[in-house]
């Protein structure tokens, strides 16, 4: 495992920012193409971060509309034939658990009756009220015509709303919901601060000594694991990996025109092309002669007629509502195949030292332990920011419950520790206290999606305390696109995590440096959010819990491993990205759940995973040969 020279890092910390700025202003020819792509200049970085903010808000909007639609359908199903009193009880419970559902209107078309729950509509200007009533009328008309409905977003005062309407299968009952979209403003405000798009306190200012790095991002929610339009006719398909990573948009357009195909699907490093005219042999000749790829091969994946999933044999595919469409991050690190080896254990506790957690979130029920509040002693570790709830969901949101998202761990318990206040910041003392408390309360893994550039011996002592008690400590590298070491990630006892996007590239915001150990997905990650909602957030804060969750799976599978051995397993079995071996952008590479768990088990590969194992070994051998050549 590559570690850091802390003495030297401490001496140069004060001057390092100036050095980086000087380096950034050098002429472009002094920077390699690889580094120029990995490290955008300040104007580019600001543009990417603004794009990220818009994308995270947009993705959050989509996540919550899917979730609301599901709740309305469930309400219609579970209250079918129920008494008016039972329907009222159900509606009250739904609204209490989901504060963004401002109003529910129940319409019985047989009895020609309407019942409104929490009936007071928001009041705005005459024009705003007129628009609200117009959309409500349209929703009723849609239900009457046996159609579902979703209105455009409209404003009442400073708040944004939309109507959603669903009708049951019999056509006798309809329900209309008025939804407050305050979560979008909350995510936008969150991202403005944490993307550093608005001023944020520097070290020492306001006596804030340890500030969590939180969420940032760059590109898109789309994933190469989306197999919605999978074809049955594999004789017209080919899998291609290009020599120089990924083709440009213009090159893809040329290929599409040459072989008469639709836009290809991307799976990790490779692209799947389906031609309307050419068979596999013709496609191979075309790609080999014109594009000189790293490899080509037939599309061997099996697809049944009754599913749109195109998953290898042995893949565990959860039924969580948002998984297939939004959670690109889990397939990217081979989570579904890894679940064949370990789904976690309730005996192995993963602590989340953060802003707390929404204990009542429906997608975290049964996964949370009591926890601790280092900010307000004696209080429960409630989340008044959203960050800790999001991190906790990445680790352990309930799997296969038809609700929201799937966590990486099915069974590991989460120990929430509130060490950051309602601004998302905490002192060195509160963070150190949270780490020590977690170590003393049986945590085997601690996730720290927080950081600062100040090297605090006090905080380091807390890290050493937990490490000496055999705790695996994982921390986010930071989100300022800088090589300056961030702490606690840069301490040698901590596994430092950088962020990647869906194209297996360094996320534009991610910090980097020789202290980075591994990388993990951090771009528009869907997870749980306060008020029983879901949000897509980006940042190394989202990458770190992927690694912490994997550590929990490893320790569940092989409890005899020490913390050092667990960390080494994750680095040695990472998928090498960037330059061969360890590099400053990805460390040893992106974590791989399947490979790491195989190594941790020490047992032969399960029979159902043997084809994937052989393919992986061949590809790794081919890559090594190419690198040596």
Active site residue ranges: 354, 387, 541
- Spell out the alpha helix ranges (H) of 292-328: 323-326
Cα–Cα dist 67/77, whole Å: 15
Q: Give residues with Cβ within 8 angstroms of 595, minimum separation 6.
A: 334, 573, 575, 616
Q: Find where tokens 């603004």 sit.
A: 50
The token pair at 507 is: 């996320």
- Angle at the Cα of 548 from the Cα atoms of 67 and 470, rounded to 5 degrees: 150
Cα–Cα dist 606/342, whole Å: 12
DSSP secondary structure of 415-478: EEEE-S-TTSEE-HHHHHHHHHHHHHTTEEEEEE--BBS---HHHHHHHHHHHHTT-EEEEE--
Query: Between β-strands 413-418 and 270-274, what pairing exists: parallel, antiparallel or unpaired?
Result: unpaired
Q: Give residues with Cβ within 8 angstroms of 408, minimum separation 6.
A: 330, 335, 394, 395, 396, 545, 546, 549, 550, 553, 593
The neighbour count for residue 429, using CB atoms within 10 Å, is 16
Cα–Cα dist 66/63, whole Å: 5
The dihedral built from the CA positions of residue 119, 125, 129 and 135, taken in this order, carries a sign that is negative
What is residue 209's three-state secondary structure?
Answer: coil
The two most distant CA atoms of the chain are separated, in Å, by 78
Q: At 164, phi and psi to the nearest 5?
A: -130, 140
The token pair at 580 is: 């061969």
Q: Find where tokens 């296969």 sit.
A: 400
Let me know: does 231 contact 237? Beta carbons within 8 Å. Answer: yes
Let me know: does 186 contact 386? Beta carbons within 8 Å. Answer: yes
Q: Find where tokens 């980075």 sit.
A: 516
């Amino acid at each position: 495992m590559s570690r850091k020279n802390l003495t030297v890092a401490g001496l140069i910390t004060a001057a390092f920012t100036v050095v980086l700025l000087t380096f950034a202003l050098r002429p472009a020819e002094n920077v390699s193409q690889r580094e120029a792509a990995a490290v955008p200049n300040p104007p580019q970085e600001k543009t990417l971060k603004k794009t990220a903010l818009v994308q995270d808000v947009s993705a959050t909007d989509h996540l919550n509309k899917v979730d609301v639609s599901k709740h309305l359908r469930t309400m219609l199903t579970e209250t079918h034939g129920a008494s008016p009193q039972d329907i009222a009880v159900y509606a009250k419970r739904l609204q209490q658990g989901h504060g963004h559902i401002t109003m529910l209107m129940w319409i019985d078309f047989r009895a020609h009756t309407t019942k409104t729950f929490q009936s007071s509509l928001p009041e705005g200007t005459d024009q705003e009220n007129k628009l609200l009533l117009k959309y409500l009328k349209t929703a009723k008309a849609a239900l009457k015509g046996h159609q579902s409905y979703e209105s455009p977003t409209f404003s009442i005062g400073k708040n944004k709303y939309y109507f959603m309407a669903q009708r049951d299968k019999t056509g006798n009952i309809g329900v209309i919901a008025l939804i407050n979209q305050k979560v979008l403003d909350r995510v936008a405000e969150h991202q403005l601060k944490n993307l550093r798009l608005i001023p944020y306190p520097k070290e020492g200012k306001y006596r804030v000594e340890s500030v969590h790095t939180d969420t940032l991002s760059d590109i898109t929610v789309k994933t190469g694991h989306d197999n919605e339009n999978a074809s049955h006719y594999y004789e017209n398909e080919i899998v291609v990996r290009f020599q120089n990573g990924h083709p440009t948009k213009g090159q893809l357009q040329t290929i599409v025109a040459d072989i008469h195909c639709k836009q290809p699907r991307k799976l990790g490093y490779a692209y799947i092309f389906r031609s309307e005219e050419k068979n596999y042999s013709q496609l191979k000749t075309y790609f080999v002669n014109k594009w000189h790829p790293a490899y080509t091969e037939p599309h061997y994946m099996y697809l049944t007629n009754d599913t749109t999933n195109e998953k290898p044999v042995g893949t565990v595919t959860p039924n969580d509502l948002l998984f297939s469409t939004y959670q690109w991050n889990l397939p990217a690190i081979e989570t579904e195949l890894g679940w064949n080896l370990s789904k976690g254990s309730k005996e192995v506790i993963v602590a989340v030292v953060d802003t707390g957690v929404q204990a009542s979130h429906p997608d975290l029920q049964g996964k949370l332990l009591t926890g601790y509040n280092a900010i307000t002693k004696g209080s429960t570790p409630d989340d008044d920011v959203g960050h800790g709830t999001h991190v906790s969901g990445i680790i352990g949101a309930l799997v296969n419950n038809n609700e929201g998202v799937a966590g990486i761990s099915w069974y590991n318990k989460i120990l929430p520790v509130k060490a950051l206040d309602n601004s998302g910041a905490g002192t060195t003392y509160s963070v150190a206290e949270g780490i020590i408390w977690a170590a003393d309360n049986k945590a085997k893994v601690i996730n720290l999606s927080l950081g600062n550039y100040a090297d605090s011996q006090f905080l380091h002592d807390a890290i050493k305390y937990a490490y000496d008690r055999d705790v695996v400590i994982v921390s986010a590298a930071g989100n300022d696109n800088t090589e300056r070491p961030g702490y606690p990630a840069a301490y040698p006892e901590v596994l430092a995590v950088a962020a990647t996007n869906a194209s297996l590239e360094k996320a534009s915001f991610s910090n980097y440096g020789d202290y980075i150990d591994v990388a993990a997905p951090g771009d528009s990650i869907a997870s749980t959010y306060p008020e029983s909602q879901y949000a897509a957030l980006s940042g190394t804060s989202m990458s770190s819990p992927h690694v912490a969750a994997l550590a929990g799976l490893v320790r569940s599978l092989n409890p005899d491993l020490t913390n050092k051995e667990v960390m080494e397993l994750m680095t040695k079995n990472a998928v090498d990205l960037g330059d061969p071996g360890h590099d400053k952008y990805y460390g040893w590479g992106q974590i791989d759940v399947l490979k790491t768990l195989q190594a941790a088990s020490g047992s032969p590969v399960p029979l159902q995973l043997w084809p994937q194992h052989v393919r992986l070994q061949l590809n790794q051998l081919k890559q090594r040969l190419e690198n040596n050549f």
